[in-house]
Structure 1
Amino acid sequence: MVIETELPPEIERYRHLFKSRLQWHTKFVHGYSMPWHQQVWCEALEDFSIKRLLIVAPPKYGKSPIVGLDYLGWRIGNDPEGYHCIYVSNTATQADKFSVALRDTIAYNQRYRFLYGVEPDVGKGWSEAEWFVKRQNEADKDPTLRATGIGGPILGGTVEEIILDDIADQENMATAYQRKKLMDWIKTTAFSRLVPGLTRVVLICTRWHEQDPAAEFENEGWVVIHVPAIDEEGNSTYPEYWTLEDLIGESPSSAKNSLGLRRFEMMYQGRVLPAEGGIFQKEWWRYWKQGQAPWQYGIETSSYLPILGIVQSWDTAFKEKQQNDFSACTTWAILANGYYLLDMWRGKVDFPKLKLAAEALWRQWSPLAVLIEDAASGQSLIQELKTNTRMPVIAIKVDRDKQSRAHAATPTIEAGKVYLPEDAAWRPQFEYEHEVFPGGANDDMVDTTTQFLNWVRTHTFTATHQVSEVPRPSTWRQAG
């Protein structure tokens, strides 16, 4: 086979860029651009000082194509003489699939051939599971790439790299015996080909269990790149492929509803929740709809209920001169039949902006009480608002941990006394944060809920507190 090595003149000047940077290699050879998370992976893969790399990401995020096809093709193209790799997947069939895709790229992709001039060595071997590229060193008897599934044999000499591609699944994580069997095979068979200080190991995976290989290797100090499906701001990290509706929407086909919360958290968020489940259950919430709330019916109707009072509940988090975690505020209406969430605000803001947000929300809703936790960052806000505004600030002393406060608030929710705005864009994220508590990345919304419910339980409201009308609930509002 004759390999062309001349690129067209308009492309030739970029040859070094295409060969030296994995992201540009992929764009040139396969013709597609990478989303941000794949670019982050490429930067880590290019850093050969990282000898143990763990990439955790949800399904369909492109882990296997980027590492098993693009990265390995790039490594082989740049070092056909000295590079040897073992590619391990969950099954031999899956391993062979990527082996053949990579082999065919080297043999038939015209742009790859233009760029690197690497030739298949059909005489030495060109099977699905094991193949060679031509080298000047004829004495080298080890294949360029050897593909195998979990439990398969690994023969031959040492290698420069081992790729472990989604080796865990529901079946081999089901029991302690199966989990140990998998780790024993990795460490005694796959890792028997390691050269200390030389061989690199890359594990790409979706989480399946709290004792899966990802947990094992993270505890050993591997470099970890973790990309959850939903980031701390509540946004999809791969919106081109996964919308929030696809992930946590109301449809039975959404990832969370089809998998169940615990498995969704592991596979899509990379977090392990307690087996017994969270504190808040989704089915406990009740809902109200704009135009059909009890205070929106005619006063002469039997369904009419007045709002007895409005209360705001704050969870604050800031550091002077720098942004920190989220601050959040929920606005609640108190009725004779329960508590209605009217609005939700949160943002990563410094103290001056937090104070402005608190004043703006007070003016918008005219609450009869503004609850702020009398601890840490909340103390500065309490002092400032009490001194310089007319806001009815109530400092909430905390004498229990977050989980104890959550457990104390759940009977009210379980009894069907808490109503969420059905049409609010932020409602799914609000419910989700409560469902995953205390295992989620954020708990600011939860803290505002439990603070309000635990406070309101000890207070009485009568018709003298009636509110004649309230503003329309906001869409999702987030500062920072």
Structure 2
Amino acid sequence: MQLSEADLTAVERELCRRSLAEFAKRAWKVLEPVAELKWGWALDAICQHLEAVTDGRITRLLMNVPPGSMKSLLTGVIWPAWEWGPRGMPEMRFVGTAHEEQLAIRDSRRCRDLIKSEWYQKLWPVELSADLDGKREFGNARKGVRQARSFTSMTGVRGDRVILDDPISADNANSDAKLEAARIAFTETLPTRVNSEKSAIVVIMQRLNEKDISGVIKDMGLPYVHLCIPMRFEPARKCTTSIGWEDPRTVEGELMFPERFGEEQVQELEKTLGSYGTAGQLQQNPSPRGGGIIQTAWFKYWTVLPQLEFTEIFVDTAQKDGQENDYCVLQLWGRSTTGQGVLIDQRRSKWQAPELLVNARAFWQKHKGTVFNPRRMGVEDKVSGTGLIQTLRREGIPILPIPRDRDKISRGHDAAPFIESGNVLLPADAEWLSDFLAEAEKFPNGAHDDQMDPMFDAIETIQRRPPVQQAQARPVPTVSHWARR
């Protein structure tokens, strides 16, 4: 029996009501009438989790997917139109945000265009408000609203659905100021933008830095359902979620979306993005496996110290002692007679200025007059470091002020060849070794980099051969226990 046009329309309505994915495939023809739609299981996964939000099974959702995965189109354009029309929820109020307001406005405009389209209005005649019909904000006759705002400027808006789409750009991913502004907006502003306890927050983004919003959610232990789809499958990171979804891949390196990103294209992306971009934007893991600028396999280890030409202490100071701030670090380094950098001892904690002074003085006294006998102390010359320099100088300790006039990433690249050549030796039995290696592996995208800064200072000093009179070799202990005293 041949179905009538009314029957076909009813079937289409029902298919779209049941499935956001089916609605999205039909909406694509309205939004992109020329471009071919390429669909894959990853897009189904995004749709399934958004459906769970609609059904009330999820109120906090974090989705990490690579760029080019239709995340903005599905979440900020198609999903609101689906709830208003096929799901019969025109009263829903949406706030769409992004790191730039123009991007949020783009999605709001496209959502409005979809709802106004002949196809949509034929199937779901949602009446739009004549008084509220702009690119930045539009509404319907049932008091539903779709608003667009910059992520850091959400004052005055509230929603039943708050969508946070890429809260920080790739260009600003290593800016501490931008990361901190995003963190404050997420923790202090965003939670107040929801209408009720039943309202939902959806964060969809690519990973760019360990301190990005995904990192904040993870570190704070916030109750977000986490959908994570890396470009290449990593069995150890296989994702499963509370709605019963799991990554369908089984082979390591298997691609997420071969219909859209084939092997050749992914290899080109990996080459173009480099290790950091690949780890974050493609693999959703902003610390590259094995390290980024610094590969942990490059380090060598000592259990018996080599003969040393000289030793020096290097100090990295922190501005504050709050939980979110870096640590203060004291490191004793030596230069071997073969030109290697040897890390001998370290102390690390979150000290205020008076505590830093006490510990720096004690660290100097611990080693001065021993077989190590450091020739001077290099101190970062800024903020609390400046006061430390002045006080210790008055006490007769030889101090080398170290200006930090170059960014840490450049300094890391300068130090990397020396480390890669096997010229940095670490104490094999130090209790802090695992933390040191974890920080090195994640640099410069880790939450902390305080142990890296004095290492870079030490390497720079060690590579500059000192005057002969300052480079007198002397015997050293033949056991490693100094590193833990």
TM norm structure 2: 0.51
The reply on whether 1:21 has 2:19 as its aligned counterpart is yes
By how many angstroms is 1:81 displaced? 4.0
Maintained 8 Å contact 1:228/1:268: yes
Moved more, 255-264 or 62-71: 255-264
By how many angstroms is 1:199 displaced? 1.1
> What residue is the counterpart of 1:87 in the other structure?
96
By how many angstroms is 1:171 displaced? 4.1
Equivalent position to 2:125, from 110, 114, 117: 117
Change (3 A) 1:131 1:196: closer
Structure 1 segments of 4+ aligned residues over 6 angstroms from their partners:
none
Equivalent position to 2:113, from 84, 90, 104: 104
The CA distance in 2 between the partners of 1:69 and 1:211, in whole Å, is: 28
Alignment of 1:257-276 (within 5 A): 257-273=271-287, 274-276=291-293
By how many angstroms is 1:79 displaced? 4.0
RMSD: 2.7
The CA distance in 1 between the partners of 2:66 and 2:209, in whole Å, is: 14
Maintained 8 Å contact 2:159/2:194: yes
Maintained 8 Å contact 1:172/1:182: no
Alignment of 1:77-476 (within 5 A): 77=85, 78-108=87-117, 110-122=118-130, 124-135=131-142, 140=143, 144-156=145-157, 158-218=158-218, 219-232=221-234, 233-248=252-267, 254-273=268-287, 274-279=291-296
The CA distance in 1 between the partners of 2:226 and 2:215, in whole Å, is: 10
Maintained 8 Å contact 2:275/2:292: no
Maintained 8 Å contact 1:87/1:162: yes
The CA distance in 1 between the partners of 2:196 and 2:12, in whole Å, is: 36
The CA distance in 1 between the partners of 2:5 and 2:182, in whole Å, is: 46
The CA distance in 1 between the partners of 2:75 and 2:18, in whole Å, is: 16
The CA distance in 1 between the partners of 2:272 and 2:104, in whole Å, is: 28
| Residue identity matched to 1:100 | R
By how many angstroms is 1:279 displaced? 4.2
Maintained 8 Å contact 1:86/1:161: yes
Change (3 A) 1:14 1:184: same
> What residue is the counterpart of 2:67 in the other structure?
59
Maintained 8 Å contact 1:154/1:190: no
1:222-257 superposed Cα distances (whole Å, 9 cap, x missing partner)? 111111111132122111222222223xxxxx1222
The CA distance in 2 between the partners of 1:160 and 1:43, in whole Å, is: 19
The CA distance in 2 between the partners of 1:68 and 1:270, in whole Å, is: 21
Change (3 A) 1:150 1:172: farther
Change (3 A) 1:114 1:172: same
| Residue identity matched to 1:71 | W
Q: Percent identity?
A: 20
By how many angstroms is 1:73 displaced? 1.0
| Residue identity matched to 2:276 | R
Aligned pairs, number: 269
Change (3 A) 1:193 1:27: same
By how many angstroms is 1:280 displaced? 6.0
| Residue identity matched to 1:235 | E
Q: Secondary structure at the match of 1:203?
A: strand
Maintained 8 Å contact 1:80/1:118: no
By how many angstroms is 1:414 displaced? 7.6
Maintained 8 Å contact 1:7/1:115: no
Equivalent position to 1:50, from 41, 45, 58: 58
The CA distance in 2 between the partners of 1:190 and 1:7, in whole Å, is: 46
| Residue identity matched to 2:284 | G
| Residue identity matched to 2:133 | W
1:144-181 superposed Cα distances (whole Å, 9 cap, x missing partner)? 1110113324314x421100011112344323332121
Maintained 8 Å contact 1:119/1:134: yes
By how many angstroms is 1:438 displaced? 7.9
By how many angstroms is 1:30 displaced? 2.7
By how many angstroms is 1:22 displaced? 0.6
| Residue identity matched to 1:53 | L
By how many angstroms is 1:213 displaced? 0.1
The CA distance in 2 between the partners of 1:215 and 1:56, in whole Å, is: 11
The CA distance in 1 between the partners of 2:114 and 2:270, in whole Å, is: 36
Structure 1 unpaired stretches of 5+ = 1-5, 249-253, 282-412, 416-436, 440-480
By how many angstroms is 1:101 displaced? 0.5
| Residue identity matched to 2:180 | K
